[in-house]
Amino acid sequence: MKYRTFGRTGWKVSEIGYGMWGMAGWKGSDDTQSERSLDLAVEQGVTFFDTAWGYGEGHSERLLGKLLRRHPGKNLYAASKIPPKNFQWPAKPEYSLEESYPAEHIREYTEKTLTNLGAERIDLMQFHTWDDRWADRDEWKRAVEDLKAEGKIAAMGISMNRWEPENGMRALESGLIDAVQVIYNIFDQAPEDALFPYCRENGIGVIARVPFDEGTLTGNITRDTVFPEGDWRATYFVPENLHASADRADQLRPLVPEGMTMAEMALRFILENPDVGTIIPGMRKAPHVMANTATSDGAGLPQGLLAKLKDHRWDRVPTSWSQ
């Protein structure tokens, strides 16, 4: 496993981290399987784990807390997210700060997360949604400052809305935001335009999420894919999105090098960018852990392939189904 410095925090985090959404609230979640996969990830050198209260109303956080207690001698980093008070994802322009992140709500859910983790402090707390119209409001700033001063959070971050990588950059100017979590993959390259340069210049850690475009970039989703009832992806991959995504994935198939999977190519594409501190693929099963962590070997992509993949950028805008 290779490690990278996570912005101005100075933390040395595994460049392959662990996204824990799939361990709570997704069809087929199984705690025993999840715990085995988490332990295996630690064995493979993973040190960064990202969860949220919204993942099973704290269930995923409790799984992370158990992991931390099972490995007391390991330097593991825990990240979680405060849900918006109105429990609406993503933030929309009409939502006010009072509806989303009033100060007392920020504190209440930070305390809930700490209880779920069984910890007195969390390494990284994040706003699970954001709208930059709130950037200049003092209420959230004071709440963050107080929680940092009290030692309850070491660093604060923002999880950027899907396909809005620059909706949050004004908040970064406050100096209180130490990290951003943003969708970045072969298709979603827009963070390179303005967000990544700003983070580089200002020492803000970058977490790349959705590296496989919710599964499209694993190569396992086709126009005919049907998701089980209750699976979140069934609401995301509406025909309009499923067909377009599958078609674009098909265009990538000829580029996958011999002996490499599309999923591996997708992770290696992100690892080529030094602005990224860590990637957080979801890894519910042991084979996923082994395959994903194996990409952290410093080998990179074959010469010339990165430039070809850059041509597959797909700029999208939020819609009713993109959530």
What are the CA-CA distances from residue 55 to residues 64, 126, 139, 227 (Å)?
12, 14, 26, 19
pLDDT in tens, 10-33: 999 999 999 999 887 655 668 999
The whole-number mean pLDDT for each consecutive block of 10 residues of the chain, a chain of 323 residues, reads 98 98 72 95 98 95 98 97 96 96 98 98 98 98 98 98 97 98 98 98 98 96 90 89 96 97 98 98 94 97 96 95 84
C-beta of residue 158 within 8 angstroms of C-beta of residue 176:
no
Residue of 248, 10, 283, 218 lying closest to 123 (CA atoms): 10
Tokens (6 digits) for 253: 């198939």
pLDDT at 321: 87
pLDDT at 259: 96
pLDDT at 28: 61
* CA–CA separation, 166 and 197 (whole Å): 11
Longest dimension (CA), the chain: 54
Spatial CB neighbours of 306, under 8 Å, sequence gap ≥ 6:
269, 272
pTM tops 0.85: yes
Exposure class string for 237-251: b at 16+ Cβ within 10 A, else e? beeebbeebbebbee
Torsion on CA atoms 228, 232, 235, 238, rounded to nearest 10:
-70
* CA–CA separation, 110 and 94 (whole Å): 25
pLDDT at 290: 98
Paired sense of beta strands 48-50 and 18-19, if any: parallel
pLDDT at 323: 78
pLDDT at 237: 93
Which residues does residue 282 pair with via DSSP β-bridges, in sequence order? Answer: 19
- What's at 285, amino acid-wise? K
- DSSP 8-state secondary structure symbol assigned to residue 219: T
